[in-house]
């Protein structure tokens, strides 16, 4: 990762490069394709925050945050506050292990703080080659599993 790493909003110039981004074949079960995420962002413009992870001229990943949404997982918890966090995260197969994932999570959490949020939430599927260790390493506390068999991770941004 270089000093030019940054998040960029989708534009007519970069959107196809974002859609072409692929994780390793065995990782595909852990994250939806970028085109699907962009379609979901299109229909949830008020809560989705899709961003390309770029470095120099390269699109190296994709991250999508959500802000202030009641979680399906909290449906049985009366009064549960709306959450903010990571909706999608994918770093291109050839660009993993260089710090882009950590960079994107930090940037999302900075945006949550900027909007007054105090916690960052994420869900993941457990399994060989999955992202669990990555999130635990970044400080997320594992809560769950949820009813869908996913794990819910939470990071306190006030510490
Ligand atoms: C999970 C993912 C986003 C991580 O991105 P990345 O750019 O490779 O991660 P980074 O290089 O920023 O790694 C940050 C730290 O986590 C560690 N790490 C990353 N992936 C890891 C894994 N699968 N297992 C163990 N440690 C891992 C790194 O070694 C690094 O550790 P450090 O503290 O020693 O530096 C990436 O592997 C990916 O896109 N996976 C496929 C899609 C996916 O699972 N997305 C998440 C959906 S919820």
Question: Looking at the 3D structure of the chain, how many domains does it have?
Answer: 1
Q: What pTM, to 2 d.p., does this model score? A: 0.94
Domain at 106, CATH number: 3.40.630.30
Residues 6+ apart with CB under 8 A from 71: 80, 82, 83, 121
Domain holding 122, by residue range, is 6-156
User: What's the pLDDT at 71?
Assistant: 67
Residue nearest to atom 2 of ligand 1 (CA): 101
Residue nearest to atom 37 of ligand 1 (CA): 96
Is the distance from the beta carbon of residue 135 to the nearest atom of ligand 1 less than 6 Å?
Answer: no
For residues 67 and 84, is the Cβ–Cβ distance under 8 A? yes
Is the distance from the beta carbon of residue 133 to the nearest atom of ligand 1 less than 6 Å?
Answer: yes
Q: 112 lies in a domain?
A: yes
Is the distance from the beta carbon of residue 98 to the nearest atom of ligand 1 less than 6 Å?
Answer: yes
Closest CA to 108 of 151, 49, 61: 49
Average pLDDT of every residue of the chain:
92
Q: Which token pair is 159? A: 């510490």
pLDDT tens readout for residues 1-40: 888 899 999 999 999 999 999 999 999 999 999 999 999 9
pLDDT tens readout for residues 105-134: 999 999 999 999 999 999 999 889 999 999
Q: 1 lies in a domain?
A: no
| 141-143 β-sheet, strand order | 6-8, 48-55, 58-69, 83-91, 119-125, 150-156, 141-143
For residues 28 and 36, is the Cβ–Cβ distance under 8 A? no
Mean pLDDT of 51-73: 90
Which neighbouring-strand residues pair with 120? 155
Is the distance from the beta carbon of residue 53 to the nearest atom of ligand 1 less than 6 Å?
Answer: no
Mean pLDDT of 130-148: 90
Dihedral sign for Cα atoms in the order 32, 38, 44, 46: positive
């Amino acid at each position: 990762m270089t000093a030019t790493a940054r998040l960029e909003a989708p534009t007519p110039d970069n959107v196809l490069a974002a859609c072409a981004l692929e994780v390793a074949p065995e990782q595909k079960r852990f994250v939806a394709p970028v085109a699907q995420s962009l379609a979901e962002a299109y229909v949830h413009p008020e809560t989705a925050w899709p961003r390309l992870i770029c470095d120099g001229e390269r699109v190296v990943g994709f991250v999508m945050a959500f802000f202030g949404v009641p979680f399906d997982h909290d449906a049985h918890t009366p009064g549960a506050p709306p959450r903010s966090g990571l909706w999608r995260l994918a770093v291109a197969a050839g660009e993993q292990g260089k710090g882009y994932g950590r960079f994107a999570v930090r940037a999302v959490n900075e945006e949550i703080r900027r909007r007054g949020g105090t916690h960052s939430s994420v869900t993941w599927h457990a399994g060989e080659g999955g992202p669990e260790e990555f999130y635990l390493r970044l400080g997320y506390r594992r809560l769950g599993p949820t009813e869908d068999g996913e794990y819910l991770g939470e990071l306190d941004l006030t510490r």
